[in-house]
Amino acid sequence: MLAKAVILAAIAAIAEARFGQEGAVQASIQTLNTFGQPGQAAALAGQTPGVLLAGANACAKLALADQIVAALGNDPAVIAAAAQLVGAEKNFNPSAQSIPTLCSDVTLPATAALRGIVPLVDPAVLGSDVENANAAASLQTPFGATGLSVADVAKAQGFSNFTAQANA
């Protein structure tokens, strides 16, 4: 019985580690309550879980990141929080899909400071080590992205194990 409880606790810990990651992004955006109109940061933060769901369009989080900057301004704290959203991993269910989706819309994100950032992908995806290293690096120094979509940038940096998804 004890072994069963330990196994269940371990499974729960693994599930928690992979799911619910949007909470960190949501919290960073919610802390921007001194920017924009009262309640605007909280309302924008409340939209982050929906754009990070596995079934959400890959371009939706980029559009939301642009919306955050447009509504709250281009203060470095706002840009950092929006960049965190651009680089965030979308939830992914390897048993339901074999590869993640990345946005192929060359107009997103429209905010210059957010262009060239590539997202994290689930560690179960072949090539995730390359993409996740690139994602971390791109938050520090975005890759060149002139005329390129996030999908194009990821591919140019050596990650191609994804499905390109247009803005819906």
Per-residue pLDDT of 33-42, as tens digits, reads 999 999 999 9
Evaluate whether residue 113 is within a structural domain. Answer: yes
Give the pLDDT of residue 18: 45
Evaluate whether residue 15 is within a structural domain. Answer: no
DSSP state of 121: -
Evaluate whether residue 6 is within a structural domain. Answer: no
Residue 88 has pLDDT above 80, yes or no: yes
Evaluate whether residue 128 is within a structural domain. Answer: yes
Task: Please give the tally of structural domains in the chain.
Answer: 1
End-to-end CA distance of the chain: 49
Evaluate whether residue 84 is within a structural domain. Answer: yes
Q: What is the percentage of the chain residues whose pLDDT exceeds 90?
A: 79
Evaluate whether residue 14 is within a structural domain. Answer: no
DSSP state of 130: H
What's the rounded Cα separation, in Å, for the pair 152 and 116? 10
Instruction: List pLDDT tens digits, range 95-153.
Output: 778 899 999 999 999 999 999 999 999 998 999 999 999 999 999 999 999 999 999 99
| Model pTM score | 0.86
Evaluate whether residue 86 is within a structural domain. Answer: yes
Task: Give the 3-state secondary structure of residue 102.
Answer: strand
Give the pLDDT of residue 89: 95
**Residues 100 and 137 sit within 8 Å (Cβ to Cβ):** no
Which structural domain, as residue segments, surrounds residue 109?
A: 21-165
What's the rounded Cα separation, in Å, for the pair 122 and 157? 17
Average pLDDT, the chain: 89
At 13, the pLDDT band (50, 70, 90 cuts) reads very low
Evaluate whether residue 8 is within a structural domain. Answer: no
